[in-house]
Amino acid sequence: MLSIRELKEKINDVFPDPQREVLLDFADVLDSTVKVSDFNELKSIVADLAKSQKELAEAQKRTEERLNSLTVRVEELAEAQKRTEMALSKLAEEHEKTRTHLGSLTHTVGYFLENEAYKYLPSLLKRDFNLEVTGDLKRDYIEVRKNTYEEINIIGKAQKNGKDYIVLGEAKTQLFKADIGNFLKKIKKIENLITGEKFLLLVTHQAHPTVRKYAQEKGLKIYFSYEFK
């Protein structure tokens, strides 16, 4: 295929005026129009755009599918969370029931220990300290201020060599140092409300040797349930 320049040279060589002028003008028009290479380039650009548009549409479709899948997953997680919350609520209710039952059992064991102490402590105090319990040992409350009371597990009157004593005790199924500390704080609150020499004791099923030593250092006598016989 001739270029525009070669075409013009051939026109100048072959055609006379005025045909030559007309043909040269026509050649200039052709030269100013879109070339085949430009058209091919344009076609390539259009093809690339079409391809990109298709890829974009496919990507959008995949995105929508992922979003739909994610929506379903979120709904499943929400449902699972709801079931979990219901299960936790039920578990909390069962736990509360268990705590209530254990609390009742603890109180039952504690009251049993106290009741045994009321029966056997008088003879043990007589044996070990020549302390004569007068009346009954019991569980009672001391009013420390208006409408505020301290519970005393073991309280009763006693005498020794004509001197009056007040027996005050705490009963714990298992004795810890913290129990001793709490008991002494309780005694401090009521010491000015009770007349007479105070005899302090503790009753328990078991206590670690360090706890026994700590009680002895604080001047407290420990009686164990196996002594109640």
Q: Is residue 45 part of a domain?
A: no
Q: Is residue 137 part of a domain?
A: yes
Query: CATH no. for residue 217?
Result: 3.40.1350.10
As a whole number of Å, the CA-based R_g of the chain is: 52
Q: Is residue 220 part of a domain?
A: yes
Q: Is residue 172 part of a domain?
A: yes
Mean pLDDT for 121-141 is 95
Mean pLDDT for 12-27 is 71
CB 166 within 8 A of CB 198: yes
- Please state whether the predicted TM-score (pTM) of the whole model is above 0.75: no
Mean pLDDT for 2-28 is 71
Q: In terms of domains, do 26 and 116 share one?
A: no
The whole domain housing 13 covers 4-33
Q: In terms of domains, do 28 and 114 share one?
A: no
Q: Is residue 93 part of a domain?
A: no
Q: Is residue 47 part of a domain?
A: no
Q: Is residue 210 part of a domain?
A: yes
Q: In terms of domains, do 21 and 117 share one?
A: no
CB under 8 Å to 24, separation ≥6 — which residues? 8, 11, 12
What's residue 105's pLDDT?
46
Q: Is residue 202 part of a domain?
A: yes
What's residue 218's pLDDT?
95
